[in-house]
Structure 1
Amino acid sequence: MRILAFSMLAASLLTGCQSMDKEQHSAAPQTARSTVSESLHGTQVADPYRWLEDLDSVETAEWVKRQQSYGDQYLTQIPNRTVIEDRITQLWNYEKLSPPEVKGDNQFFYRNDGLQSQSVLYRADKRGNHAKVLLDPNGFSADGTIALSGVSISDQGQWLAYGTSQSGSDWQQWQFINIATGEALTDKLEWIKFSSATWDKQGEGVWYSRYDAPAAGDNKMEQANYFQKVYYHKLGTPQSEDTLVYHRPDQKDWGFGTELSDDGKYLLISVSQGTDPRNRFFYQELATGNTVELMSELEAEYLFLGNDGDTFYFKTDYQAPKGRIIAVDLNKPQKANWRELVAETDNTIYTAAIINNRFVVSYLKDVLAEVQVYGLKGKLQQTLALPGAGRVVGISGGRNDQQMYFLFNSYIHPTGVYRYDFNGSEVSAYNIPDVAFSPADYVSEQVFYTSKDGTRVPMIISYKKGLKKDGNNPTLLYAYGGFNISLTPRFSPATIAWLDMGGVYAVPNLRGGAEYGEAWHQGGMKEKKQNVFDDYYAAAEYLIAQNYTNSSKLGAYGRSNGGLLMGAALTQRPDLFAAVLPAVGVLDMLRFQKFTIGWAWTSEYGSADNAEDFGYLLAYSPLHNVVKQAYPATMVMTADHDDRVVPSHSFKFTAELQYQQQGDAPVIARIETKAGHGAGKPTAMKIAEFRDIYAFLWHNFGLTLPEQIQ
């Protein structure tokens, strides 16, 4: 439905009469309200800001400029805001390394010297010596907003394929480099999203997945993406000559991830459907070109781990919600013939891999990492002695490697690279960063609280030693709760800065995630989404009841699906928080499926296009539940190049909240330019974002920022 501009531009220049706390300032910009309304399943639903969905219009551009000006005006008047930025910068300025990956005669790893906008890809010999820069994305653009979105190295280490994204967009362009000479090829692959590049065994070309180019006149930042296809690209040829390998014109919402078996015989195709954690699994015999639908039903997750000839190994949650490892004989693929190698346990499998001809399985034991090593017949051989209670990610190693590497961190322990030697059966430090603080000065404790329906929920609370639990500490409650994503402990220098300010940082593990397997996920999706919100409110109430804080010092923050959570917190429990920050949030639950990849989330949320889903979506949709009342201080955060959760969600929600606000608390928008959903954001932009989050919270807690943070 096209909205007539009529006098919108003039109307949106009108001013209101809100105040900024107790200070005088210019009022929030008023936004023109149209009379757009539509009937959905017999219910009339008003959409007065539908015109803000047109991201290319002059009216929307003018609205963005006024909101940016208003938000900047509010933030810049906060005294000593730069003190926060200085402390975060000091903490951020340390060398960061990734686990190394060995290909052919080379070792590859990422390094950031501290404050570089983007991390740099290095090449060294097998022992890690004589390291040289292979690819420096900081040279892609002057402002660091063109980022590496993925790399793939050919099996013998001859070629590098790398993807780039601009200003945080999900759209990628892939290019190629001769690793030995550093020479860049002229090959360019475009219109790629949600895909890696899979090299053939000879290093002559790659398989990848792409969408058709948008039609002339379509906005690539808004247009829905359907009908992904698998192609093969041969080096030295134009993309127009790429071979179409697999597609399903009868299944517009199927997505395809590719992988090559270690023996080079099979192209493995994982078939996704939206963001559903379940997948189908097909394989193509490269010798014959024959494609076999091994797992043809969308009934469980099937993660390919490796194969020995005709025997394929999978991590799956089929008849095992917390995960197990099975073997499937391609000659007898029926379920009755599947062999269980590693049985389901009380702990959830987080990741699994075959390294050194063993299964390396990383579990979540009440959210915290536990890593075990099994033989290929399923016998437990070793439980790794980890550096502490925290998170293990980035497990790296090949089928025949004698060593593997991984990252370990927690909320108060910086991310270090560790090595496990299969011969010596021990974990040793490979690279531990030197950060400008002492972890011994901080506490990170796990607690368990009870949600509204009696469910036991874990939460990790971090703070500086010596904190008094007097019910008056500034507290930031961060959460996500959805899409089968586990919120495990992760280090950020910005978190330490918050603790140094005297703040408490709390992260509950809400239903909707994968911390306790698929049942935990399903307990917070579709018609059960309210469980996620209730888990979050119960976490806030626990922090208050246990005298960490009170409602006047409690801030709420979440991103993406967590931004939806923030919208629900504002509209359902505005009494519980002093300040709320919805970032790149899904806030219009009736129209999210109409833009870019939003349709893919219907497996998680449901869809307002379906009568059976419409009722519960309307009941909690943040945009549609804003009413005239006093709301907490709110900073809605988004970016102009977010083509995952399009910024119109945040635009419309900001306008509605500003219109309905009856209290004195500010409602501002922080709209970044040349940025997207979050991936690839340059370091300076990340630091500035945390600066503004903390300054906004502190100011609306009624606190004065110190002249120095230690």
Structure 2
Amino acid sequence: MAVKVARDRAPFFPPMSSAAAAPPPYPHAPRINHVDDYFGTHVVDPYRWLEEIDAAPAQRWIAEQNALTERVLAAVPQRAAICSRLTTLWNYERRSVPEKAGNLYAYFRNTGLQNQAVLYVTRDLAEPGRVLLDPNTFSTDGTVALSGASFSDDGTRLAYSISASGSDWQEWHVRDVAAGADLPDLVRWAKFSSASWRRDGSGFYYSRYDEPPQDARQFKDTTYFHKLYFHRLGTPQSADVLVYERPDHKDWSLGATTTEDGRFLIIDATRGSDRNNRVFLKDIASDGPVTALIGDGEASYEYLANDATTFYFRTTRDAPRGRIIAVEPGAAAVREIVPQSDDSLDAASFFGDAIVAQYLRDARAFVRVYGIDGRLLRDVVLPGLGSVGGFGGKRSERETFYTYTSYTEPASIYRYDLAGGLSSRVFAPQLAYDADAFVSEQMFYASKDGTRIPMIVTSKRGVARDGTAPAILYGYGGFDISVTPAFSSAVIVWLEMGGIYAVANLRGGGEYGEAWHEAGMKTQRQNVFDDFIAGAEYLIAEGWTSPAKLAIHGGSNGGLLVGACMTQRPELFGAALPSVGVLDMLRFERFTIGWAWTSEYGSADDPDDFRTMLAYSPYHNLRDGVCYPSTLITTGDHDDRVFPAHSFKFAAALQHAQGCDNPVLLRVEMKAGHGAGKPTSKLIDEVADRYAFLVLALGFEPTVDRR
């Protein structure tokens, strides 16, 4: 129930003890007497009004917060040099893994500082080729981005989707590849969808929701009843054919893949973010009905390939670390092709009679090639201990491509010859920095319950282990997502500044398979926070850093991680950087796609889940007068994945509760969403602000390369 409004005075910001000047008082945030009743427990929500993000009071407060943050960070003397160095190191050519489009290769290329990568096609990868699609022409500021792309089987058509201001809403268009011009086709109100072409090129399958209200509610309201449609080229969207829907399961998300032989449509149905799924089959050739193929939601099944009516899947059925099986419609049992190993099977693809399987071993990649009978043929020799991506393509192809990267090496592109088993590098980035000056070390530490947690620490060679270095500890820990080594210009600049960069592979992720994931879900969520806290304690005990010099960073589910850990152990960290975080665990399912995360977190509508989530919800566990770390909260005004009110409410509550001089700032990126498609210019500015804040909060004098 809600009761009358009570107004507080604007909080007073006392002078900071550091050398930095104190910001002025925080923008006034009225506290209202709003109380919700959860199973007899009364929970206050004094900043509920900030959920009305487009109302005048919220807009005024956001503008004042941004003005304060900009004023404070602009005053940090080193910010300009940091931004300049970031710009220099960001300015290098980057390419994506090529794919075949008919008789052409297609790939994305960013020459350096372009806001969005450009799609090229070429007959010879030694040449750049021609521009097929330049998303930088979609808007002057780079805030309209490409969000999906799919070539027809013969490579003559490209279906591509665009999203504005970081929104998850997609608008699909079709381009003639030879002419480089768009056809009249337009498909709107798709979300979380790819485009899967019929083999004859007559059209494509896609998933969408019903058209939302044409106002701010399209970025706030929950979305249910995902539907699968077929769009025939040359016809209006109103004529699109509804292929499959499940009105009896409003929380199912539907995706479709056409088999390479063009005969079948594989329909994937998941409930929210749960990786366990159901698989349905439609015979396209006979326009047959949709029938159940496999699964009742007890395991995950990822379609890989087919031989007529034999279908191959990567699955966790009876194999939490993953295996590959063959399924026949109506068969009583599945046939195992590649059994579960000691390592986590991260991905797989079929080429002729060979299977390329990507594994994770302690969060580092290795790749094996099997025969279609499951016989091990060879290992793929990789350049080092890092991450790979790619190995895609049609089953008929004799070559495939992959990327290799690590924390200190930018992503190179390799061609892999499937017959000979040899890799050759086809693209190597040219970047002006000294890679040999840095080193990554993997180490293991014990969490609170004794679980062995891997962590990779990257630093300058020979850095003193005397606790004086500033450090960033990054984590995610959720949704079966593995955090593996990847190059970042931003990380290199932080290392050049004298910083330590540590990444902990927490429970809740997918690094060790489904059992590792489940150990961080729902009632086990505290394990994730314990793992992260133990990682911080390990860095301190080993002399890498000290509490006053340690910052924690994470985004989305990682923002929840940071929020929970800084409220549970505020004395352990010098700074906290929660980005686009899930910070109100009792309200997340009320907005946009938040309901889909109940399989991961639980639901506040369930009494047991409610008690679990209330115990760690960052917004609800702030206590007046506690000295919290210096905190920079970041979000986007158009984030329709994690509703930005999470960050708004947490910022207001933290500013009110803060019991010491440590600053609490909110940075709201305008015309931006959850992060996907964010233009380069905005990325550089955001990182420059983050590092300027850490200079302020951790009180160190950075070394900034001014080349």
TM-score normalised by the shorter chain: which range applies? Answer: over 0.9
Tell me by how many angstroms 1:429 deviates: 1.1
> 377-386 or 420-429, which moves further after superposition?
420-429
Q: How many residues align?
A: 703
Cα gap change, 1:660 to 1:526, in 2 (>3 Å): same
1:665 corresponds to which letter in structure 2?
Answer: N
**1-side partners of 2:436 and 2:664: how far apart?**
38
Structure 1 residue corresponding to 2:505, chosen from 506, 509, 516 = 509
Contact conserved, 1:578 with 1:701, CA < 8 A, in 2?
A: yes
**In the alignment, what sits opposite 1:288?**
287
Which residue identity lines up with residue 293 of structure 2 in the other structure? L
Measured after TM superposition, the shift of residue 24 of structure 1 is 3.8
Match for residue 436 of structure 2 among 440, 446, 449: 440
Q: Pick from 541, 544, 556: which aligns with 1:545?
A: 541
Q: C-alpha distance in 2, partners of 1:19/1:599?
A: 42
Q: Tell me the residue number matched to 1:688.
A: 685
Answer yes or no: is 1:570 the counterpart of 2:566. Answer: yes
CA offsets per residue over residues 39-68 of structure 1, 9 Å max, x none? 101100001100100112111101101111
Question: Given residue 689 of structure 1, which amino acid in structure 2 is its aligned partner?
Answer: E
Cα deviation code 1:60-98 (max 9, x no counterpart): 101101111111111111112111111111111111111
Is 1:370 equivalent to 2:366 in the alignment?
Answer: yes
Show CA shifts across 1:405-453 (max 9, x none). Answer: 0011010111110111123211121111111113222100100000000
- Which residue identity does 2:474 align to in structure 1? Y
Instruction: Write the deviation string for residues 149-181 of structure 1: whole angstroms up to 9, x where unpaired.
Output: 010100001111100010101111111111111
Cα distance between partner residues in 1 of 2:559 and 2:298: 29
User: Do the aligned partners of residues 708 and 158 (structure 1) sit closer, same or farther apart at CA in structure 2, a change above 3 Å counting?
Assistant: closer
d(CA) in 1 for partners of 2:536 and 2:182? 53
Matched AA of 2:646: H
Gaps of at least 5 residues in structure 1 are none
- Is residue 298 of structure 1 aligned with residue 297 of structure 2? yes
- On the 8 A contact 2:48/2:649 being kept in 1, the answer is yes
Question: Is residue 475–residue 553 contact of structure 1 (8 Å, CA) maintained in 2?
Answer: yes
**Counterpart among 631, 634, 639 of residue 636 in structure 2:** 639
Q: Following the alignment from structure 2 to structure 1, what is the Cα–Cα distance between the partners of residues 415 and 12?
A: 60
Among residues 122, 137, 140, which one is paired with 1:139 in the alignment?
A: 137
Match of 2:522 in 1: 526
Taking the TM superposition and a 5 Å limit, the aligned residue runs for 1:81-96 are 81-96=79-94
Q: d(CA) in 1 for partners of 2:387 and 2:460?
A: 20
Aligned residue among 464, 467, 478 for 2:463: 467
Deviation, 1:105, is 1.6
> Aligned partners of 2:109, 2:469: CA distance in 1, in Å?
37
Aligned to 1:219: 217
Cα distance in structure 2, aligned partners of 1:44 and 1:159? 57
Amino acid at match of 1:81: R
For residue 604 of structure 2, give the secondary structure of its aligned residue in structure 1: coil
Aligned equivalent of 1:697: 694
Q: Deviations over 1:616-675 (max 9, x none)?
A: 100000000000111110011111010000000000000000001110000010111011
Of residues 249, 265, 268, the one that matches 1:267 is 265
Gaps of 5+ in 2: none
Matched, 1:174 2:177: no
Code of the aligned partner of 1:690: V
8 A Cα contact 2:6 2:31, kept in partner? no
Greater CA drift, 345-354 or 387-396: 387-396
Equivalent residue number for residue 394 of structure 2: 398
Separation in 2, partners of 1:549, 1:344: 39
Q: Distance in 2 between matches of 1:233 and 1:24?
A: 58
After TM superposition, the structure 1 = structure 2 runs for residues 618-657 of structure 1, keeping only pairs within 5 Å, are: 618-628=614-624, 629-657=626-654
Distance in 1 between residues matched to 2:432 and 2:422, nearest whole Å: 29
1:141 counterpart SS class: coil
CA distance in 2, matches of 1:708, 1:310: 60
What is the one-letter code of the residue matched to 1:165?
S
Query: Which residue of structure 1 aligns with residue 155 of structure 2?
Result: 157
Match of 1:257 among 255, 258, 263: 255
Measure, in 2, the Cα distance between the counterparts of 1:682 and 1:589: 30
Structure 1 vs Structure 2 CA RMSD: 1.5
**Contact kept in structure 2, 1:559 and 1:583, CA below 8 Å:** yes
**Per-residue CA distance 1:465-491 (angstroms, 9 max, x = gap):** 121111111100010000000001111
- AA aligned to 1:250 is D
The whole-number CA distance in structure 1 between the counterparts of 2:511 and 2:223 is 30
SS, match of residue 56 in structure 1: coil
Residue 130 and residue 490 in structure 1: after superposition, are their counterparts in 2 closer, same or farther (change >3 A)? closer
Tell me the alpha carbon deviations over residues 278-319 of structure 1, each in whole angstroms, 9 at most, x when there is no partner: 111111011132211112400111011100011101110100
Conserved 8 A contact 1:208-1:258: yes
Aligned to 2:420: 424
Q: Secondary structure at the match of 2:700?
A: coil
**Is the CA contact 1:511–1:532 (under 8 Å) kept in the aligned structure 2?**
yes
Contact 1:21 1:666 in 2 (8 A): no
Indicate if the aligned counterparts of 1:403 and 1:419 stay in contact, CA closer than 8 A. Answer: yes
Equivalence map 1:92-107=2 (5 Å): 92-107=90-105
Distance in 2 of aligned mates of 1:680 and 1:127: 25
Q: How does 1:333-352 map to 2 (within 5 A)?
A: 333-334=331-332, 336=333, 338-352=334-348
Whether the 8 Å CA contact 2:169–2:189 is kept in 1: the answer is yes
Q: 1:89 to 1:215 in 2, by over 3 A?
A: closer
**Deviation at 1:131?**
0.7
Q: State how far apart, in whole Å, the 2-side matches of 1:155 and 1:388 are.
A: 35
**How many angstroms apart in 1 are the aligned matches of 2:201 and 2:3?**
52
1:17 is paired with a residue whose SS is coil
Conserved in 1, the CA contact under 8 Å of 2:497 and 2:704? no
CA–CA distance in 2 between the matches of 1:119 and 1:21? 44
Find the aligned partners of 2:3 and 2:639 in 1 and give their Cα distance.
23
Query: d(CA) in 2 for partners of 1:128 and 1:401?
Result: 19
Could you tell me how far apart the structure 2 residues matched to 1:17 and 1:223 are?
Answer: 36
Shift of 1:104: 1.3
CA distance in 2, matches of 1:615, 1:15: 31
Q: Is the 8 A contact 1:479 1:507 kept in 2?
A: yes
| Residue identity opposite 1:431 in structure 2 | F
C-alpha separation in 2, matches of 1:663 and 1:15:
12
Structure 1 residues 554 and 237 mapped into 2: Cα distance closer, same or farther (>3 Å)? same
Report what 2:576 is aligned to.
580
Q: 2: CA distance between counterparts of 1:414 and 1:25?
A: 38
What secondary structure is seen at the aligned counterpart in 1 of 2:185? coil
Per the TM alignment, residue 30 of structure 1 is displaced from its structure 2 partner at its CA by 2.9
8 Å contact kept, 1:158–1:179: yes
5 Å-filtered alignment, 1:184-199, equals 184-199=182-197
State how far apart, in whole Å, the 2-side matches of 1:496 and 1:515 are. Answer: 24
> What is the CA-CA distance between 1:230 and the residue it aligns to?
0.4
Question: Which residue, 657, 663, 667 being the options, matches 1:666?
Answer: 663
